[in-house]
Amino acid sequence: MRPNAMSRALVTTTAVLGLTAGGISGVSFAATAPLAPRSTASEITPLAVVNLGLTTAEAKKVQCFLDYLWDYDGDIDGALGTQSWKAMQRYLVGWGYEGAIDGIVGPGTVMALQQSLRRPWGYGGKIDGIAGAETKAAFKRFAENTGVRC
C-alpha cells in the first residue's frame, strides 16, 4: 500500500472502531425515540395570519369594520387570522363569494375581495384569485377608509 492510502485506511478503521465502541472523545450515541404520528388534514386548524400587505394599524381598522358590521368576535389585534377572514367572507358573500365560511384565504376569497375592491377602492386588475401587488394596494386603500372607528 502507498503511505497515503495506508493513512486513510488507518484513520477510517480507527473512526469506525471508535464509533462502534461508542466513544471517540467520550461521545456516545443514544437511540432516538419514535416519531409522533402525523396529523391528518382534518385535524389541522388554520391559524395563519394573512394581512395581505396591511400594517398592524391598517389590519386593526379592517377588524373594526368587521366587528361593527360582520359579526367579528375576535380581538382587535391587527392580525387578520381565521376569525377575521370568516367575518370578511361573510361580507364578501355580497361580492360573489360562494365558498365555505372557513377563514381560509383561498382563490375564491381573493376573487370576491378583488370584486369588492374594484370600483370604490381602485382595483383595476383581473378577478383571478391571486393577491398580487394591485390587490394588496386596493386592500390597503380599503383599510385606510373603511369609515368605521374603533
| pLDDT digit string (tens) for the chain, length 150 residues | 445 544 454 444 444 444 344 444 444 444 454 555 554 544 444 457 889 999 999 999 999 999 998 889 999 999 999 999 999 999 999 999 999 999 999 999 999 999 999 988 899 999 999 999 999 999 999 999 988 888
At 103 the pLDDT is 94
Task: Report the distance separating Cα 69 and Cα 72, nearest Å.
Answer: 8
Q: Which residues contact 95 (CB under 8 A, 6 or more apart)?
A: 112, 113, 115, 116
Enter the C-alpha cell of residue 38: 402525523
**Burial readout 9-23 (b: 16 or more C-beta within 10 A, e: otherwise):** eeeeeeeeeeeeeee
